[in-house]
Amino acid sequence: MSVIHVLLSGIVGSTAYGLAHAGSDVDRLGVFAAPTEDLHGLHRPKESHVTTAPDRTLHEAAKWCRLALAGNPTVLELVWLPDDLYEVRSELGEELIGLRACLLSAPRVRAAYLGYATQQFRRLRARGERASSAEERRRTAKHARHLKRLCHQGHELYATGRLTLRVEDPEEYHRFGERVAADPAVAEPLLRHYEDAFAATRTVLPAQPDEAPVEAWLRRVRARLRTGADDRTG
């Protein structure tokens, strides 16, 4: 990988949720900025770098902003991490954390979180119908935990404008996963409950995200990277 400028990165996923167990992967997510000069050439730089061992996903700043403005739950985690889970936190990364409220809008948060939860439900139902092996049951339980988490966190964000990544009772999520692994139909009432909860909740979020500060931040990134004055990693 060529030298890139990492602005913000940290540990996300099951570790951040408090759902990790022995043998769980440690997932990392980050934002990097391509050198501004590279954006003017015939061939644009890669917008994402994904590695395994270690598991790390880095999105270029513009792509990360687009995904976050669309309400992508995985991407939004990065600006709501507990302080101790950040591994790179540059000045520009700190500014991005300060813009997290600007990224949010009611319809996009609702559509993204419920949409991801519905995808998880379809996956676990399909897998559960043929969950004859221990590995298939394990994956079904994992998808069930994520369905429950997405519903809870999405509704919290929709109702309060805040996102708490660490779940309150990890064991309840594990028990729920095991129940769903035994019978995938157990998950459907939970999903329907949160669909009704979203519909009944008066959201604090605006109808549209506030893109102007995000655009201004991205332009500051481009200006800074004309001189290369920020954190780097390879």
State pLDDT tens for residues 171-181. Answer: 999 999 999 98
Question: If you average pLDDT over residues 159-181, what whole number do you get?
Answer: 95
Query: Which strands form 86-89's sheet, in the order they lie side by side?
Result: 48-51, 55-60, 27-33, 5-12, 86-89
| CB distance 186 to 179 below 8 Å | yes
Helix (H, G, I), strand (E, B) or coil at 4: strand
* CATH level 2 (architecture), domain 5-103+210-224: 2-Layer Sandwich (3.30)
> For residues 207 and 139, which has the higher predicted lDDT (pLDDT)?
207
pTM of the model: 0.90
Q: Which residue in this structure is represented by tokens 């309840």?
A: 172
What pLDDT band is residue 227 in, cutting at 50, 70 and 90? low
> In the 8-state DSSP scheme, what is residue 129?
T
* Alpha carbons 21 and 26: distance in angstroms, whole number: 10
Helices (H), the chain: 14-17, 61-69, 73-76, 91-98, 106-128, 134-160, 170-182, 187-200, 211-224
**Token representation of residue 103:** 């990224």
What pLDDT band is residue 60 in, cutting at 50, 70 and 90? very high
| Boundaries of every domain in the chain | 5-103+210-224, 106-200
pLDDT recorded at residue 1: 42
pLDDT recorded at residue 129: 59
What pLDDT band is residue 231 in, cutting at 50, 70 and 90? very low
Q: For the purposes of burial, counting CB atoms within 10 Å of the CB of 99, is it exposed (0-12), middle (13-18) or buried (19 or more)?
A: middle
Answer yes or no: is pLDDT of 132 > 70. Answer: no
